Amino acid sequence: MDIKILLVDDENDFVETMVKRFGIRKMAIDSAKSGQEALAAMQAKDYDVIILDVRMPGMDGLEVLKLIRERAPLTEVIMLTGHASLEAGMQGMNLGAYDYVLKPADFDDLLDKVRKAFERKELNAKARKQGA
């Protein structure tokens, strides 16, 4: 099954590499350069997993995370950051992020986490359907 992934990061090179590497595995991945772009993309498509950079100019990653959780509670979010910021990590996890990846991200590691996040999303969706 195809996983619908959105990568939100302002760093062009990183986004390009990731899109390429996911592409090699025949996994389509959309990208957004800012929080606003990400939220706009979410209106057009239901994403399963969003990979979200914590530090971006404009809208703060944690702010975006909050909005994603509000608007699409089933979508799982993996936080991404260039440096290990404990405070941001804590806040991200407490706001309901699925996982946390430190840049430079190991691709296999990230892929594994995306798969796990997707599995959780599916389980969650199933549980909701049964509960309803």
Partner 1 sequence: MPRPASREPEPGSDPLGGDQGMLARATGARLWKDHGLLLWAHFLVPPVLAALVVAATFATPVLAGILAAIVLGIAAVSARALMLRLSQTEEQRLALTNQLIQSQKLAAIGELSAGIAHEINNPIAIIAQEGEWATHLIGEAEKQCGADFAEVKDSLREVRAQVDRCKNITHKLLDFARKREPVMQDVDVSRIIEDMARLVDKEAAYKNVTLVRSLPQDLPKLRTDAPLLRQVVLNLMTNALHAVSEGGRIEASARADDEVLEIRIKDNGCGIAPENIEKIFNPFFTTKPPGQGTGLGLSMCHTLVTGMHGEISVDSKPGQGAAFTVRLPRRPQPART
Judged by CB under 8 A, which stretch of 32-40, 43-51, 54-62, 114-122 contacts partner 1? 114-122
Which lies closer to partner 1 via its Cβ, residue 16 or residue 119? 119
Q: Does 14 bind partner 1 (CB under 8 A)?
A: no
Among 9, 37, 48, 99, binds partner 1 (CB under 8 A): 99
Judged by CB under 8 A, which stretch of 12-20, 36-44, 46-54, 121-129 contacts partner 1? 121-129
Burial of 1: CB neighbours in 10 Å, binned 0-12, 13-18, 19+:
exposed
CB 62 to partner 1: min, Å = 11
Among 98, 105, 110, 114, binds partner 1 (CB under 8 A): 98
Write out the two tokens for 87: 């405070």
Can you give the three-state secondary structure of the chain, one letter per residue?
CCCCEEEECCCHHHHHHHHHHHHHCCCCEEEECCHHHHHHHHHHCCCCEEEEECCCCCCCHHHHHHHHHHHCCCCEEEEEECCCCHHHHHHHHHCCCCEEEECCCCHHHHHHHHHHHHHHHHHHHHHHHHHC
Q: Does 22 bind partner 1 (CB under 8 A)?
A: no
- Site residues for partner 1, window 65-94 (CB under 8 A)? 83-84, 86, 89-90, 93-94
Would you tell me which residues interact with partner 1 (CB under 8 A)? Answer: 83-84, 86, 89-90, 93-100, 102, 116, 119-120, 123-124, 127
